[in-house]
């Protein structure tokens, strides 16, 4: 007997008809002699609406209370899904994350799963039930409800698949699979039949929201067989797997853009040892994550440092820096939120050259100025003006010939 985890995203359970269709898939898999665990997200825009409710009360809600609130979206979906399965004549039982022992750390709104006690799930599966688990949530060591960051139902599904040693984890969503670029922004984008864990991990970390980056880290570590599939038809979607030799023949697998970052510029600091350390110590002390960093070569004894931070953390970064401006003798500290990070990703970059040149030339032809550059073995990212990002994304997609063949 096999074991399958099926995860249904928000759009796949948005209304009664969709819930019934999802339930049908679960029942079919069970009738094909599988144990089935279903992980559900909150319906449609429910999570956004719940965050909105909090903001109607206060600008700065407590993260613990936010988790209490937003986790309810998934709980609603589980009960409705279990009812839909019952209506199809199959036994099912719904659980919250806490009820099935998904234990996380205490970082409210972005908790990490520490352990899952699979005993209860196994017992229910063995008694012939389809087990429906609320995605996106867990409980910490002090019994507080936590959530796993936006898109976190993917992490629930993958973690359960890993620990239950599932034969397959299917992520059902509202597109045909993983594309070379967001198909809603680049209509010519092509659906990929397969992609390596490393590539989708980079893409997800750099803004591709089709699967949550953390879930891929987990999938890679535990070698979870993963598929991203449409909920609206029976296509196979995209298989996410370990890289195979022939995958390197494809130089670029995808392009992506994120507008979640902001740029911080510190001008005119004395060019001497210890100042960069002092700046980033202060930034870290304020729990701000830093991404790209550039320091120019000092002239006349002074240097400039530019770096990017998540947009949501810009205010914290700026107040931290203003607090030490005198101490570090910085002439000026400024920021720019109107930036976007455009990236190309592909494991083929390891063995092919000329990718950076092609990317930079394409941006030059589009008259897009590159403000910052960073690279890893399988990606090149550029910070550009946000207003030009859509045009730049399309041009890069075309330049690397990623469109439909």
Q: What mask, x for binding ligand ASP by CB under 6 A, covers residues 130 to 159?
A: -----xx-------------xxxxx-----
CA angle 66, 44, 90 (to 5 degrees): 105
* Minimum CB distance to ligand ASP, residue 52 (Å): 12
Q: Residue 156 is inside which H or E element, if any?
A: helix 153-163
From the DSSP assignment, how many helices (H) and strands (E) are in the chain? 12, 20
HSE value, Cβ hemisphere, 13 Å, CA-based, for 26: 40
Q: By C-beta, is 46 or 308 nearer to Mg ion? A: 46
**Judged by CB under 6 A, does residue 138 bind ligand ADP?**
no
Q: Regarding beta strands 302-310 and 293-295, do their DSSP bridges make them parallel or antiparallel, or are they unpaired?
A: antiparallel
* Minimum CB distance to Mg ion, residue 253 (Å): 20
Nearest CA-CA partner of 256 in 396, 384, 153, 152: 396
**Judged by CB under 6 A, does residue 173 bind ligand ASP?**
no
Exactly one of 4, 42, 162, 231 binds ligand ASP (CB under 6 A); which one? 42
* Minimum CB distance to Mg ion, residue 21 (Å): 18
Task: Using CB atoms within 10 Å of the CB of residue 235, give its burial: 0 to 12 exposed, 13 to 18 middle, 19+ buried.
Answer: exposed
Total Cβ atoms within 10 A of residue 101: 16
* Minimum CB distance to ligand ADP, residue 136 (Å): 10
Q: By C-beta, is 156 or 304 nearer to ligand ASP? A: 156
Binders in 177-216 for ligand ADP, by CB under 6 A: 178-179, 181-184, 208-210
Tally of residues, the chain: 405
* Minimum CB distance to ligand ADP, residue 386 (Å): 17
Q: By C-beta, is 171 or 269 nearer to ligand ADP? A: 171
Fill in the DSSP letter of residue 174: S
Nearest CA-CA partner of 148 in 137, 163, 157: 137
Binding residues (CB under 6 A) for ligand ADP: these are 9-12, 41, 151, 173-175, 178-179, 181-184, 208-210, 254
Binding residues (CB under 5 A) for Mg ion: these are 9, 151
Binding residues (CB under 6 A) for ligand ASP: these are 9-10, 41-42, 47, 73, 135-136, 150-154
């Amino acid at each position: 007997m096999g074991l399958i985890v099926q995860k249904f995203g928000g759009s796949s359970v948005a209304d009664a008809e969709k819930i019934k269709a999802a339930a049908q898939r679960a029942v079919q898999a069970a009738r094909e002699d599988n144990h089935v665990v279903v992980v559900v997200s909150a319906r449609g825009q429910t999570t956004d609406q719940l965050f909105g409710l909090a903001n109607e009360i206060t600008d700065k809600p407590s993260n613990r209370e936010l988790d209490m609130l937003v986790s309810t979206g998934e709980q609603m979906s589980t009960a409705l899904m279990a009812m839909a399965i019952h209506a199809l004549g199959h036994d099912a039982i719904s659980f919250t994350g806490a009820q099935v022992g998904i234990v996380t750390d205490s970082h409210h709104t972005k908790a990490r799963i520490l352990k899952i006690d699979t005993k209860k799930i196994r017992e229910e599966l063995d008694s012939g039930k389809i087990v429906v688990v609320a995605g996106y949530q867990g409980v910490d060591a002090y019994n507080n409800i936590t959530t796993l960051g936006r898109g976190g139902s993917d992490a629930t599904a993958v973690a359960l698949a890993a620990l239950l040693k599932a034969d397959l984890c299917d992520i059902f969503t509202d597109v045909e699979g993983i594309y070379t670029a967001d198909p809603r922004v680049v209509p010519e984008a092509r659906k990929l039949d397969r992609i390596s864990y490393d590539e989708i991990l980079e893409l997800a970390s750099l803004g591709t929201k089709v699967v949550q980056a953390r879930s891929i880290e987990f999938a890679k570590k535990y070698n979870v067989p993963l598929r991203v599939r449409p909920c609206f038809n029976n296509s196979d979607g995209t298989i996410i797997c370990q890289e195979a030799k022939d995958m390197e023949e494809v130089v670029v697998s995808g392009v992506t853009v994120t507008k979640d970052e902001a740029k911080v510029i510190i001008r005119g600091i004395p060019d001497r040892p210890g100042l960069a350390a002092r700046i980033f110590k202060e930034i870290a002390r304020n729990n701000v994550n830093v991404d790209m960093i550039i320091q120019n070569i000092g002239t006349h004894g002074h240097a400039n440092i530019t770096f990017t931070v998540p947009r949501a953390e810009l205010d914290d970064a700026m107040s931290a820096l203003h607090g030490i401006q005198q101490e570090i003798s910085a002439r000026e500290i400024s920021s720019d939120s109107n930036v976007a990070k455009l990236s190309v990703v592909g494991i083929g970059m390891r063995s092919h050259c000329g990718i950076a040149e092609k990317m930079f030339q394409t941006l030059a032809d589009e008259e897009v100025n590159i403000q910052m550059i960073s690279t890893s073995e399988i990606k090149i990212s550029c910070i550009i003006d946000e207003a030009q990002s859509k045009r730049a994304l399309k041009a890069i997609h075309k330049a690397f010939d990623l469109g439909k063949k």
